[in-house]
Chains A and B, each alone.
Chain A
């Protein structure tokens, strides 16, 4: 037997890293809910969200190199001066932080309707955190991306989500060394059934696992707490 005898759980490292980002998003959520509390009964405005710039930047700094962008999005109608709003920043190596600007005018042809995205719908429906993707994010990162999101719920009312983007290649970087140590074919699959990473070229990133013939030879080999991902390996 070679390295596989001593190999560790490939999901342990990346699981902890994602858990860390989700915890930071939790802190951002708390900061957002505090803004809501401080407003008392007064209408919330875009200007109130300026207070979130610091926790957003703190998140991006703490998870530098792993989280590519972070912020909050407001559910339609929550802010008095904007039907929809995205307060999302991304880290640009060298020039600090840049705010994401998208067209939120529902009448516009370029309208970006975030309420239809997996990372918004999931926490809205389940009231729990979500790890959406991987998907091609042509709005913000322009890369193959996961979006982690946490619902903002105040006195039972859904106000939006707090979240962060993690590039798929960062996840791959975190799991590939452990996958490569294994003798058996091992595949990491996302919640939507796509291959995230594997140690076998037959399972390339992005393919739908169930549609690969070779998938019939795989059996469940593990999960990570709080992550909708599954590890599968070739049956003996």
Chain B
């Protein structure tokens, strides 16, 4: 696991419940980003706790919360241990996840994402140099050839993380990574085959604005891009009705 142990130890809340939640989120992020794969066995609890710099009790709390969310499965016996269960890469699993979210939560998540993506795009337009723009182009070009929802989400997430990195901000970069781990493949659920080209065009326009060093245009494009995604998710959530 590519860790942020340092950042986590610095900023983790001190009380036990908060710490377990932080560890759970960290592991969830690693699973959603594909750093931990489906079926992968987690290290023994004592090793993992030491690696994460938390007590075994805290780790167990975190694992139990991941179990509740279906991200980890614990098997007893000799071949036992905790195993990763990656989120389903299929519309049925995702629809289930979407139903669990309220319109209010989706709207709030969208607002947060738009704020981060907008600020990152604005700063990237101010601070990107030619080699940054070249890297952004490369990442933008990976979206169209991607076939599954997960591949599209990863190409999409990577571009936005790269934009935050081009903004020269480790904090915005971490924030983008966190937000993508939370929203995951959901973003691509309401996008049909015909929508792919439209999203790719939005990405290209955003990279164009960054290349022109036009901060306001970049911010507006990024905010509009996320707002459109949020709108699609809200529409789909309404259509799905109650669980």
Contacts and interface: CB of A to CB of B under 8 A. Distances in A.
Interface of A: 92-95, 98, 100-103, 108-110, 116, 118, 134-136, 138-140, 142-144, 192-194, 205-208, 211
A142 B4 contact: yes
A134 B168 contact: yes
A214 B53 CA distance: 46
B177 A138 contact: yes
A95 B50 contact: yes
A116 B5 CA distance: 26
Given A92-B6, A138-B161, A142-B6, A206 B127 contact: yes
B208 interface: no
A194 B168 contact: yes
Contact of B135 (A93, A95, A109, A116): A116
**Top 9 nearest A-B pairs by Cβ distance?**
A206-B168, A109-B154, A136-B165, A142-B4, A110-B34, A136-B173, A109-B151, A138-B173, A136-B170
A109 B146 contact: yes
Chain B interface: which size bin? 35 or more
A131 B169 CA distance: 20
A92 B3 CA distance: 10
B199 interface: no
A186 B2 CA distance: 37
Interface string B1-23: 11111110000000000000000
Contacts of B150: 109
B57 interface: no
Between A93, A98, A138, the greatest number of chain B beta carbons within 10 A of the residue's beta carbon is seen for A138
Contacts of B146: 109
Nearest to A112: B2
Contacts of B3: 98
B33 interface: yes
A51 to B, nearest CB: 25
B5 A101 contact: no
Contacts of B127: 194, 206-208
A110 B151 CA distance: 9
A92 B164 CA distance: 25
B48 interface: no
A142 B135 contact: no
Contacts of B138: 116
Contact of B129 (A100, A116, A142, A192): A192
Contact of A118 (B5, B131, B168): B131
19 contacts: A98-B3, A98-B5, A109-B34, A109-B154, A110-B34, A135-B165, A136-B167, A136-B168, A138-B174, A142-B170, A192-B129, A193-B129, A194-B168, A206-B169, A207-B127, A208-B126, A208-B127, A208-B129, A211-B213
Interface in B112-163: 126-127, 129, 131, 135, 138, 146, 150-151, 154-155, 158, 161
Given A101-B2, A142-B173, 18 more contacts: A95-B53, A98-B5, A100-B2, A109-B154, A110-B35, A116-B135, A136-B167, A136-B169, A136-B170, A138-B165, A138-B170, A139-B2, A142-B4, A142-B7, A142-B170, A194-B129, A206-B127, A208-B129
A192 B174 CA distance: 23
